[in-house]
Structure 1
């Protein structure tokens, strides 16, 4: 197969003309996210440009320690971003969310790189960094939805929680409706995405591999593994986040600490 067609800076700039459609829509419907959108796009351009330069050296060095530090930094950014977007207190939740992210990515990477793909060098930058990044990035999105829903529901429906406790339910049993709702809210979009892959959507990694010259069959096998890794990683991350967050939310008697549950402005 031929090499992937390069995109000139001029043609890349042309791609940004598509942004006219959402911006005009935002203006028409008075949706006040134009500034946030433009800032996000600018950050994306700067960050990806820096990453492109940095990864050239990362891939060349291919050092286990450097690659691990890079992934740990991604986990930390994911944890802090979740806290910021949900509106929680860094003091109480940064360490628990970091532990959740680190534990989930450690399990996923050890299983898929060491057992399934059976890499000779588990920390190979070509696999270790991009696949870990995809798992962490997807877990971040679902974490924000799930944790935000969990805190909102627990805050607004405290009476239900205490009602279940008073009527003989254990703390675990009383929290089941809240945890179940948060998992459904967070993971339903991912489940829907998996159910239509190949029918409606062709995922980014698979498309990228095909454009890069890989066999479609090889690309599909990797995409299946990636979707499994993303789903398991997102589920584990959210699960551990909630379990560790509960240690901060409740006192030793099972009562909710209002000062911790309340979100920051």
Structure 2
């Protein structure tokens, strides 16, 4: 019997400055097969912290995470992060050029640089004309975001932890990035855990939703069920608020 891709068992994280206060606790969930899971909830619910725990970039104060049946203690940090890879909302460019940033994986893990694949993915996210000799620090925010994503994709992770990775992109670049991620999911079975506050994006890409409120995982359900028939008052309030915000948004010709 195959092990689950990710298992969360009673996961909890305290506020660093308030050790007796929990940001969230008691989070249990399981991903058994490749899917696109949205992590949703109001700001301040610990969504980014949860992704960082799953990416082995922080440690829980309670509970256990398993990837393919093994806890982080049974993996090296390097191997875990190669397989379960976090892409931050505000990416950090390493010193050097765009090309040197893209080559980070090959340097660190002593394997050939997949130049053709890197060019293909850069083209896919709308950066086909970007000068690879340009210092990465001089890129715009949206360019940095997409370079960082491609840099992470070159790890070939089985799980991608996406923290609002299209938030700084224009509509065309956002859609191109979504299409690349969906293609990787379809072709390679990449599991995506995706934080987004983009209502249209959530409705179009999500297969499953984890909804956080009040420091708990209140809903874990198919996306269609969550958006059309949420099971908790907190989720219904959240969805009504977002619908109202969408209706009140100004129209642009």
Higher helix proportion = 1
Give the structure-1-normalised TM-score: 0.25
More strand by share: 2
Larger Rg: 1
